[in-house]
């Protein structure tokens, strides 16, 4: 995006959230050997998808009536998401996991401040806007942002290994006078700066992953929160509701929350004899 009114963004992992309901009675009715075999096959696949640098998988038991299981998958390519989805659907356990919903997005770092600085830099060079030289310089400055020691690791960080997870989609409002996209760039940048201060005040207590979904799903962004105390979700989101960027311009979809667990604990989750554990060292 090279329009001075449109903030640039940097993208990392492709992300697919999938929500399921588990038919526990049908699963419990299976013979022990079949349950052991099916859960072992699924665990092997999840561990395979978690290994290496090309992707990751997060498993969570959903709390509440909306479902039982949330699978979060990271992939370096869009095709990688499609391939992982196919592999999961071929598992025997999928016969007992009915899909409830899904969400497709790509990990995103917004660049309100950086975009303004890039345009100011190009203006100082007296380059003709949108000329080949201007475009080349613009792309080079964006590339440097992506390769910085601070930004790069955030684009390709693995799924946070924290016990509790919360996911929800959101939009910026486009209604009458409350149209986010019609605000001047400087106003939007100021609001996002103030909004970010709230999130940074919870540094260390919560890990936030923002993903863009315009063109991929029904909302504009997806938000993942990970914490060691579920009350942090309530406190953070409640405080943000008083921030103008959310109070006036935020629209929210369904919230999904639950407990993350390790792939080795899949059998525990399926059998339902205990709450599956998370080994944060993996």
Residue positions annotated with a catalytic role: 168
HEC states along 61-105? EECCCCCCEEEEEEECCHHHHHHHHHHHHCCHHHHHEEEEEEEEE
Please give the Cα distance from 75 to 56 (Å, whole number).
7
Please give the Cα distance from 155 to 45 (Å, whole number).
24
Of 128, 131, 45, 60, nearest to 92 (Cα)?
Answer: 45
Please give the Cα distance from 156 to 77 (Å, whole number).
12
Please give the Cα distance from 226 to 232 (Å, whole number).
9
Please give the Cα distance from 103 to 18 (Å, whole number).
7
CB atoms inside a 10 Å sphere around CB 83: 15
Per-residue tokens: 212: 């863009």
| Burial grade of 192 (CB within 10 A; 0-12, 13-18, 19 or more) | middle
Of 114, 22, 77, 40, nearest to 266 (Cα)?
Answer: 40
Provide the CA 53 distance to its chain's centre, in angstroms. 17
């Amino acid at each position: 995006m090279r329009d001075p009114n449109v903030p640039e963004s940097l993208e990392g992992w492709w992300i697919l959230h999938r929500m399921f309901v588990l038919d526990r009675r049908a699963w419990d009715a299976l013979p022990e050997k079949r349950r052991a075999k099916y859960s072992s096959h699924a665990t092997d696949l999840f561990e395979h998808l978690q290994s290496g640098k090309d992707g990751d998988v997060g498993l969570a038991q959903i709390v509440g009536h909306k479902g039982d299981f949330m699978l979060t998958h990271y992939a370096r390519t869009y095709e990688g998401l499609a391939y992982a989805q196919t592999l999961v659907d071929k598992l025997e356990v999928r016969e007992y996991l009915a899909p409830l919903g899904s969400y497709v997005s790509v990990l995103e770092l917004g660049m309100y401040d950086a975009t303004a600085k890039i345009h100011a830099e190009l203006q100082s060079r007296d380059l003709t806007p949108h000329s080949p030289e201007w475009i080349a310089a613009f792309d080079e400055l964006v590339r440097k942002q992506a390769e910085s020691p601070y930004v790069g690791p955030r684009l390709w960080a693995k799924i946070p290994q924290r016990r509790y997870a919360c996911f929800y989609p959101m939009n910026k409002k486009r209604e009458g006078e409350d149209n986010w996209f019609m605000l001047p760039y400087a106003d939007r940048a100021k609001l996002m700066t103030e909004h970010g201060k709230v999130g940074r005040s919870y540094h260390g207590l919560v890990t936030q992953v923002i993903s863009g979904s315009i063109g991929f799903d029904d909302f504009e962004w997806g938000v993942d929160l990970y914490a060691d105390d579920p009350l942090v979700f309530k406190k953070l989101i409640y405080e943000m509701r008083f921030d103008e960027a959310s109070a006036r311009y935020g629209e929210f979809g369904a919230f999904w929350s639950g407990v993350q667990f390790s792939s080795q604990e899949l059998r525990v989750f399926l059998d339902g004899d205990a709450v599956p554990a998370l080994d944060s060292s993996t």
